[in-house]
Structure formats: C-alpha cells, structure tokens
Structure 1
Amino acid sequence: MKKYLALLFLSAIIFTHTYAQEALFNAQQIVSPEIHDDNTVTFRLFAPTADSVKVTGDFLPTIKVQSPFGEVDAPGSANLVKDDKGLWTYKTEPLKPELYSYAFIVDGLRTTDPSSPFLIRDVASITNIFIIGGGHADLYKVNDIPHGTVAKRWYQSPGLKMDRRITIYTPPGYEKSNEKYPVLYLLHGAGGDEEAWMDLGRTAQTMDNLIAQGKVKPMIVAMPNGNVIQDAAPGKGSDGYYKPQFMAPRTMNGEYEANFMDIVKFVEGNYRVKVGKANRAIAGLSMGGYHALHISRYYPNTFDYVGLFSAAIMPREDATGKVYSDFESTLATQMKNGYQLYWIGIGKTDFLYKNNTDFRKKLDDMGMKYEYVETDGGHIWRNWRIYLSEFAPKLF
C-alpha cells in the first residue's frame, strides 16, 4: 500500500511538472508583442489546433465598415504563419511612434493575446496595447519624472438625485503645497465613462510629462461620467457587472449639461482651486465635445477655455431639453462675454467632419473666433490623445 501511495505521489509530481513546463512553453516563454530596435513588432500565438490566426490592430491599414453613423474606418487584419510546433507568427513593417491596440482572430473568434497582460477596455471591447516610443508617443509613457495623483471620488449630484463617481488628477506636488490650481473638465465620448480618459487617453502620463517639460501649467483635471443613468462605470457602481453599451439612454438629452454645475461645485468645494472663468476649461471628445459645446454655451460666463475634439455636432431627436433651446442667442452671449480660447480639432476622414465644417461656418458668420486643427485619420483615440497634448499647453 505504501509503495502504491509513493508511486501515486511521484506520478502526481511528474504530471504537475510536465503540465507546468507545457504552460511555461505555451504562454510564459512566448514573447508577444516583441518590439525590435528598428520599431518592427513580432506577434506570436501558440495555437496548434487552429486553422487560421490573424492579428487586427490600429497599426494596420484601415478598412471601411458600416456603422449606425454611416461608413467609418476600422482596423484591418493580417495573417500569422504557423510553424511545425503550432506557433503562429507575424512581423510588422517599422511602425511610427504611437500607442497601438491589437487583438487576435483565431478561426473567426476575436480574442486577446494570452502572452501580454496589458489591456484596455473601449466600451465593451477589450484589446491589448503596446507603445512604440519616440516623438509624441513618449508623452504616453511613464518616465522618471515627478508624478501626479489619480483619485476615484464620489460626489453628490442633487440634480441627478444620486451619488456619482468621478476621476480626479492632481498635479505633482499637490499634496505638499498650499497652492491653488486651475481646473480642466475633460469629457469622454459615447460608450465611455469616468475611466476612459485615464485608460484610453493616457491623461495622467500626458499631463505628468507636459508639466515636467514646462509646456503645461500644473492643473487639476476632472474626468466625470457623462452617462446620466449611471452612478459609475460598469462594474464600478451600484448596478454591478453588466455589458457596457455604446449609447446609454438619456445621454445626450440635456440632463447632463443642465446638471454639470454639481460637478464644478464638488471640485471647487473639495480641492484647492482657483475659481472664476479664467481658471476653468472644458473639453471633450465626440459626445463629450457635444457636451462641452452646450455646457459652455448654457453657462456662458463659466469657462474661458473650450475644446471640441471631433465633436458630435449632429441633430438628435431626444435633444429636447431646455439646454438646447435658444442655441444661437446663447452662443452669441458666450461670444459677447468673452473667452480666451475656443479650440476645434477633427480628422480629415472623421464621419463628423461635415458637421464640424457646418458648425465652423456658423461661427464664422457670427464672427466668433476659434482655433482650428485638422489631422489625418478619423474618429480615433490616436487623434484625441494628440488633441489633448496640443490643447492643454494653451490653457491658463
């Protein structure tokens, strides 16, 4: 009996060791993505029973796909090649400096890279990320410089009748000083939440690096949740875990804009801030640009700096709230009150390009001054990260 138990124990050890070695080879020893000195990148996936493996990501040429908003750009794909051990490989051409996202498609099923733990969520899609350093991409890296603090706070919104979650960035040295700071209110797009600008936009890294370079004045950045039916991002609030959706109900019906001062009151009541319009900026991407446009107009003497990043300036059937009435007259009041900067940026192939062109014509006709930046590409985070890095140095 003892001999039998000893053999059983030895067999268990051998099995465990063999399984561990297999796991080690299949996952931990595989390097993917591997970034080479010439900025080429190799992707690898161990999938011996797969018939087809592709990689898709924003480093590949785009393709046109249909969306609820018409034809838009989407990442293309490339085939990996399988060796005799079941390891699939693909190597890129040299890539330009940028933060890139990617995923694998195995026999038609989209999946993340098991060899890389570095992931981000965009709405309900999970992708891996990597950075090719150099140029503006160095702003997205964590460098050996002083760092700010990122806090996830809860504030009371009497207007929306709930406590809500907000992300707050405070600049390096905030905790040790008595200094007061200006505030940038940075708004996300449809499907995003209070996590988006931090995770997808690399806001903390960008602000740390720009402040260290002396290109940006130290400031507080407030990143609220723009979906009025949520108290927080999916999985972070009282509704628990549920699948995020692209356009939550009541998101662009005016409720958020009308109750935005609840956020301003919280920030100014809980942080050392400089008050007054000269010390407040508001900017947003896509839906957040739509919100920033209407908030700054609805409260026309509140923000001296306004940034519209690929703003979703489009007619909406649910835009019936008081916020959207008297559009021209309140915009004229905003212009009359004066401001330091009205900044508009959009990509040449963005599906909102014409809407923004029409809005600029309206501003031109009424004599409202603005700065305009036009970039390559469409409705993508690559542009919005750049817009933040160009807008922030112009503030305060």
Structure 2
Amino acid sequence: MKLSLIKGLQLGAAMMCMAVIAHAQPQRVPQFNSPQVNPDNSVVFKFYAPAAKEVKLSTQFHQGAAPMTKDADGVWSVTLGPAKPDMYPYNFIVDGVSVADPKNSAIFPNEGFQSSIVEITGSTPLVHTLQNVPHGTVSYRYYNSSELGPRPVVIYTPPGYEKETSKKYPVLYLLHGTTDTEETWTKVGRANIILDNLIAQGKAVPMVVVMPYGRAYPKISKTSGSLRNWDNLQEIKKDFLDLLIPFVESNYRVKADNNNRAITGFSGGGGTSLFLGLNNPDLFRWVGGFAPGMLKEEFDRNNAVAFANSSTTNQRLKLFWIGVGRDDMLYPVITDYLKLLNDKGIKHETLISDGGHTWMNCKLYLSTLAQKLFK
C-alpha cells in the first residue's frame, strides 16, 4: 500500500474518531446567574431546561405562577416585581414538577417541598439584614435519644458568649413549622441575624436560642401531619423535657429557672410551643406562638393546665404572646382561641399583622417578641 494512501486512511480514521467524541460530549450549558435582584427591587429568574415544554415561576411576592419564556439556548426567564424588600421562597415548575433553583445556594430547608430563597434588601437595612454589628455563633449540635437516635439541634449563642465565661444567659426555645427542619429558623427566619441586630441596638437582652428538630421521627412518621399531632406531642414532650433541656443546661451557660426560659414557634411548632409552655409553668414563664397550629376541638385538651385556673395562670406567666396574619389560613381558628382566652380571663398580648402563613411574618413576630423577653 502506498504511503500516501496509508496517511489518507489514518487521517480519515482520526476525523471519524473526533466526530464521535464531539457527538458524545454533552451540550454546553449557557452561563447565567439566577436570581438577579435589580436596583428597582425587581428580580430576574432563569432556568436552563432546553427540552421542557413549559416552565413557570412560583414565589410569594407574585400572585399565581408566572409563565417563563425560553430563548434559543434553552434558558427560560421571567422578571417579576418590584417587590417589597424581604426574603422570599420561590421555585420553578418544570412541566408540572416543582424544583429548586440549581443556580442558587440559598435553599429553603424543608421536608415537604423544594424551594430556594431570594433576598431583596432594598435601600434601608431590615431587622433581618446582615449588618456591621457583633455577631453571635450558630452551632450544629446533636444529643442522643435511646428511642429516636441522634437528635439535631441548632444553637445560637450571643456576641460575647465565648469571652464572658462567667456570665449566664436566658434561653429561648424556638420551634419550626411542620415540614421545616432545625435549620429553617436560621436560614429562612434569620433568627441569629435578628438577635444580633436587636442586641447591638440595645433592644433585646442577650440570650441563647435553641432550635431543635420538632418531629419525633422515626417513631412518628413524617407523613403523620402537623407537629401538633397528639402522638407527636407526647413523644416530643418526653424528648424536650427529659433530654433537650438537660442537654442545653449541661453544655451551655444558661440560667436554669422558669424566669429565664421562653418558648415559641411557628405553625405546627407554634402549637407545640403552646402545649409545652402552658402545661409546664414550672419550666416556662414566657410563652408564645407564631400563627400556632391548632384545632378548635383541641383547645381544652391542649391547654388543660392553663385553663384549669386562670388566676394561677396569669400569676405564673410573665408573657403570653400570639401573632397571626389576617390572611393566614389559621386566622379563623386562632381568632376563636383568642376569644376563649378573653372569656376565661387569661392575659395575653397579640399582634394581628397583614399577610398570611409565611416566614416573612415569622421574622416580624420574632423581632417583636424578642424585644419583650426577659425584661
């Protein structure tokens, strides 16, 4: 065979190999950022899905799911707003399936849905905005239950805790919503940033904040409904009183008396906080609920100790506080509960806000209640 023919065959084979390799390589994904917050507080959302037939954007600052438009590169986009400065969950709905934003590392910790978080700061710092003030420490800890196994808990210690080694602090137990996790209060509710800012402004007493996981899993299934499910309440009561409080008081410099313990929570966790707080006045003298989950037929059962003697309840509690939004799905039943408290003469404070069953309201409620605690 002539040399020129051999070289020709080799060149042809090489070109075929290159074509096969090029064909096997995945399509290059266009580079873009999502979300992009504009100076006017509008937000651009983008999602890469070249094969999708339909993509929509769902967020709590826009009514209904917003259709997105696909460009020639397979990138879907939509611009929404301007929005009121706050932090908002959002997700894409891709051919009917809800997914978080793969371009955004700010994920909403939740066992029931997949969402991301967009922060719109605006021109004026909000109570949950990261500011140039002394910051506390957020620690991820575990305590062990013989029945439930390792139990996660996130604990905030205020600025100066590590240096002022002889000082003891009051403690707030802060419970999450039904499908949330122990991380939701810091990553969505910004509890640590709120306390940093309020403490720096002299508006809140320096305190330790304990944010436990509220589901008695695996004993109680994650599909069993609200955290204030009666079976879950019984298991969490044992876990909370016998394990969590002793763990905190053995490992942190906290004041171990009911004058210096507070408990509150959101939604299902709010129902749990009322159940634990009102029925254990020897442990808690500061009790709150943020749109607390409850049913009318559970009022007497879940408030048995508090309802048994209104005068004694009023003497024991330094503060009983409830916040709820007018558009909250729980507003009607909480209104009935507040009426019952009035009828029984049980003292309480309320904040009826705008908005619904959202973590935007949770930040408002926490920042309001935190300024009242331990004073």
- TM surpasses 0.5: yes
Measured against aligned partners, the alpha-carbon deviations of 1:294-313 in whole angstroms (never above 9, x if no partner) come to 21222123222111111112
The residue that corresponds to 2:320 in the other structure is 342
Q: 1:161 and 1:106, CA in 2 relative to 1: closer, same or farther beyond 3 A?
A: closer
The residue that corresponds to 1:45 in the other structure is 47
Measured against aligned partners, the alpha-carbon deviations of 1:198-249 in whole angstroms (never above 9, x if no partner) come to 23322222222222232222110011222223499xxxxxxxxx98775477
State the secondary structure of the residue aligned to 1:105: strand
Shift of 1:347: 0.8
Structure 2 residue aligned with 1:59, among 46, 51, 61?
A: 61
Q: 1:162 and 1:93, CA in 2 relative to 1: closer, same or farther beyond 3 A?
A: closer
The residue that corresponds to 1:279 in the other structure is 260
Q: 1:303 and 1:134, CA in 2 relative to 1: closer, same or farther beyond 3 A?
A: farther
The residue that corresponds to 2:208 in the other structure is 220
Q: 1:276 and 1:385, CA in 2 relative to 1: closer, same or farther beyond 3 A?
A: same
Structure 2 residue aligned with 1:22, among 17, 21, 28?
A: 28
Match runs of 1:57-96 below 5 Å: 57-61=59-63, 76-96=64-84
The residue that corresponds to 2:250 in the other structure is 269
- Partners of 2:313 and 2:346 within 8 A in 1: no
> How many pairs are equivalent?
364
The residue that corresponds to 1:289 in the other structure is 270
Shift of 1:162: 5.0
Q: 1:116 and 1:9, CA in 2 relative to 1: closer, same or farther beyond 3 A?
A: farther
Distance in 1 (alpha carbons) for counterparts of 2:300 and 2:343: 25
The residue that corresponds to 1:329 in the other structure is 308
Q: 1:395 and 1:90, CA in 2 relative to 1: closer, same or farther beyond 3 A?
A: same
Distance in 1 (alpha carbons) for counterparts of 2:169 and 2:132: 23
Q: 1:93 and 1:289, CA in 2 relative to 1: closer, same or farther beyond 3 A?
A: closer
Q: Which runs of 5+ in 2 are unaligned?
A: 1-5
Distance in 1 (alpha carbons) for counterparts of 2:148 and 2:110: 27
The residue that corresponds to 2:3 in the other structure is none
Match runs of 1:1-396 below 5 Å: 7=14, 11=18, 15=22, 22-23=28-29, 25=30, 29-61=31-63, 76-134=64-122, 138-157=126-145, 163-178=150-165, 179-230=167-218, 246-247=225-226, 251-257=231-237, 259-262=239-242, 263-315=244-296, 325=304, 328-329=307-308, 332-337=311-316, 339-396=317-374
Q: 1:229 and 1:320, CA in 2 relative to 1: closer, same or farther beyond 3 A?
A: farther
State the secondary structure of the residue aligned to 2:109: strand
Counting aligned pairs with the same residue, the percent is: 39
Q: Which runs of 5+ in 1 are unaligned?
A: 62-75, 233-241
- Partners of 1:314 and 1:355 within 8 A in 2: yes
TM-score normalized by the length of structure 1: 0.80
Query: C-alpha root-mean-square deviation of aligned residues, in Å?
Result: 3.4
Measured against aligned partners, the alpha-carbon deviations of 1:350-393 in whole angstroms (never above 9, x if no partner) come to 22212212221222123222111011222221211211111111
State the secondary structure of the residue aligned to 1:128: strand
Letter in 1 for 2:199: I
Q: 1:151 and 1:222, CA in 2 relative to 1: closer, same or farther beyond 3 A?
A: same
Measured against aligned partners, the alpha-carbon deviations of 1:239-293 in whole angstroms (never above 9, x if no partner) come to xxx9877547765443323553222222122111123222111111112221221
Letter in 1 for 2:295: M
Distance in 2 (alpha carbons) for counterparts of 1:34 and 1:146: 29
Q: 1:213 and 1:244, CA in 2 relative to 1: closer, same or farther beyond 3 A?
A: farther
- Partners of 1:258 and 1:295 within 8 A in 2: no
Q: 1:280 and 1:243, CA in 2 relative to 1: closer, same or farther beyond 3 A?
A: closer
Distance in 1 (alpha carbons) for counterparts of 2:350 and 2:336: 13
State the secondary structure of the residue aligned to 2:209: strand
Shift of 1:40: 1.0
State the secondary structure of the residue aligned to 1:191: coil
Letter in 2 for 1:358: D
Shift of 1:15: 4.4
The residue that corresponds to 1:239 in the other structure is none
- Partners of 2:307 and 2:344 within 8 A in 1: no
Letter in 1 for 2:234: G
- Partners of 1:227 and 1:250 within 8 A in 2: no
Letter in 2 for 1:48: P
Q: 1:181 and 1:79, CA in 2 relative to 1: closer, same or farther beyond 3 A?
A: same
Distance in 2 (alpha carbons) for counterparts of 1:327 and 1:255: 21
- Partners of 2:214 and 2:269 within 8 A in 1: yes
Letter in 1 for 2:332: K
Q: Which runs of 4+ in 1 moved over 6 A?
A: 1-6, 242-245
- Partners of 1:122 and 1:200 within 8 A in 2: no
